[in-house]
Amino acid sequence: MKKLAVIAFGGNALLRGDQVGTIDEQEQNVYETCQHLVPLIKEGVDLVIGHGNGPQVGTVLLQHEAGNKLFDLPRQPIDFCVAETQGSIGFMIEQQLRNVLAEQGISRNIVTLVTQVVVDKADKAFTNPTKPVGPFYTKEEADRMAKENEWVFHEDPRKRGWRRGVASPRPLDIPNWEAVEKLAREGHIVITVGGGGIPAYVEEKGKMVGIDAVIDKDLASSLLATKIRADEFCILTDVPNVFINFRKPGEKKLERVHLDEIKKHLDDGQFTEGSMAPKVRACIEFVEKGGKDAIITEAEKLGNPEAGTVILP
């Protein structure tokens, strides 16, 4: 059986901090990220790709808000907006990866799946909306929009501004994971659980209902990696490694680290919620449930066995 890897796109894989988010910017970022997948594909690794949508879904929410105010168009709920961005980002990744493979003379099918992810509607996250979405604002802008829309804002831990916070419940199930595994093991590249998946809960008799939330894409990708029995789970972000004492005296880069050590760092508060903590937590869960390797790194280091932070059993 060939190696199966789940790779979660995030950070500058989609949008960089100094960019406004034009289609040209995003397509170029995705194209450059997909170039770093080529060595894995040439090695015959079966790939499943997940991705975030924080800036994009925040923008879509603002578009719906503006349309309601200016033209009396109906606002759509967050789960609907997640579905919009799942489709649009999946389209960008599929198109740019096809372009990269065509340049390399590689023929592979690429499939983008609209994916719901099941959550618990009683999850305590719904009373504590901490998941950052959308662009960065000044404190004055954030205060004004919080008052106008009854939104919650949090300051970015890297002091880049203020971002809206929404509920981020824990993913519990991915209804079409068997189809994802089958397609991937047949050699098709699958793009799925985009933006963490479209959040839904299950009522009596199995009826699925959408709910206002944005699921963490790293936790959803980790759950998928476990379900499809992936060998490797990799989170791409905008830093080459995980650090302790990040940007403080005694800063230290983590390279190959075992579960007990990384869990202690997490318990000690070394990793910020809304930033590195969910990534570390997602990797821990994958390894604890039988995964071989979990890696956090930037796209440029992908495939280098000496690069990134590797979490081991």
Tell me what pLDDT residue 68 has: 87
Average pLDDT across the chain, whole number: 93
Active site residues: 11-12, 131, 217, 279
Tell me what pLDDT residue 123 has: 97
> Predicted confidence band at 148 (pLDDT cuts at 50, 70, 90)?
confident
Tell me what pLDDT residue 37 has: 96
Closest Cα partner for 218 from 145, 284, 151?
Answer: 284
> Predicted confidence band at 58 (pLDDT cuts at 50, 70, 90)?
confident
Tell me what pLDDT residue 101 has: 98
Tell me what pLDDT residue 302 has: 86
**pLDDT exceeds cutoff 80 at 303:** no
Tell me what pLDDT residue 132 has: 84
In the 8-state DSSP scheme, what is residue 206? Answer: G
**pLDDT exceeds cutoff 90 at 272:** no
**pLDDT exceeds cutoff 90 at 201:** yes
In the chain, the domains with their CATH numbers are 4-237+290-304 (3.40.1160.10)
Q: For 97-131, give the DSSP string.
A: HHHHHHHTT----EEE---EEE--TT-GGGGS--E
For the whole model, what pTM was predicted?
0.92
The residue count of the chain comes to 313
- Between CA 241 and CA 298 the distance in angstroms is 8
- Matching residue, tokens 């199966």: 4
Residues 6+ apart with CB under 8 A from 29: 12, 13, 14, 15, 16, 19
Query: Each residue of 87-128: pLDDT tens digit?
Result: 999 999 999 999 999 999 999 999 999 999 999 999 999 999
- Between CA 191 and CA 23 the distance in angstroms is 19
> Predicted confidence band at 260 (pLDDT cuts at 50, 70, 90)?
very high
Tell me what pLDDT residue 23 has: 94
**pLDDT exceeds cutoff 80 at 228:** yes
